[in-house]
Amino acid sequence: MKLQLALDLVDIAGAKEVVSKVAEFIDIVEIGTPIVINEGLHAVKAIKEAFPALTVLADLKIMDAGGYEVMKAVEAGADIVTVLGVSDDSTIRGAVEEAKKTNKEILVDLINVKDIQTRAAEVDALGVDYICVHSGYDHQAEGKNSFADLNAIKSVVKQAKTAIAGGIKLSTLPEVIAANPDLVIVGGGITGEADQKAAAAEMKRLVSQA
Ligand SMILES: O=C([C@H](O)CO)[C@H](O)[C@H](O)COP(=O)(O)O
Question: In this predicted structure, what is the pLDDT of residue 99?
Answer: 98
Alpha-carbon span 35 to 190, nearest angstrom: 17
**Contact predicate 14/193, CB 8 Å:** no
Beta bridge partners of 163: 132, 183
Atom number in ligand 1 closest to CA 188:
15
Residue 130's CATH number: 3.20.20.70
Secondary structure element (H or E) that encloses residue 84, with its range: strand 80-84
| Measured distance CA(56)–CA(15) in Å, rounded | 12
What is the reported pTM? 0.97
pLDDT score, position 210: 80
- Ligand 1 midpoint to CA 98 (Å): 25
The distance of Cα 50 from the centroid of its chain, to the nearest Å, equals 20
Domain residues for the domain of 147 are: 2-209
pLDDT of residue 113: 97
DSSP tag of 59 = E
CA of 68 to the centre of ligand 1 (A): 24
For atom 4 of ligand 1, the residue with the nearest CA is 136
For 51-110, write each residue's pLDDT tens digit.
999 999 999 999 999 999 999 999 999 999 999 999 999 999 999 999 999 999 999 999
- As for how many domains the chain has, the answer is 1
Rounded to an integer, what distance in angstroms lies between the CA atom of residue 141 and that of residue 195?
24
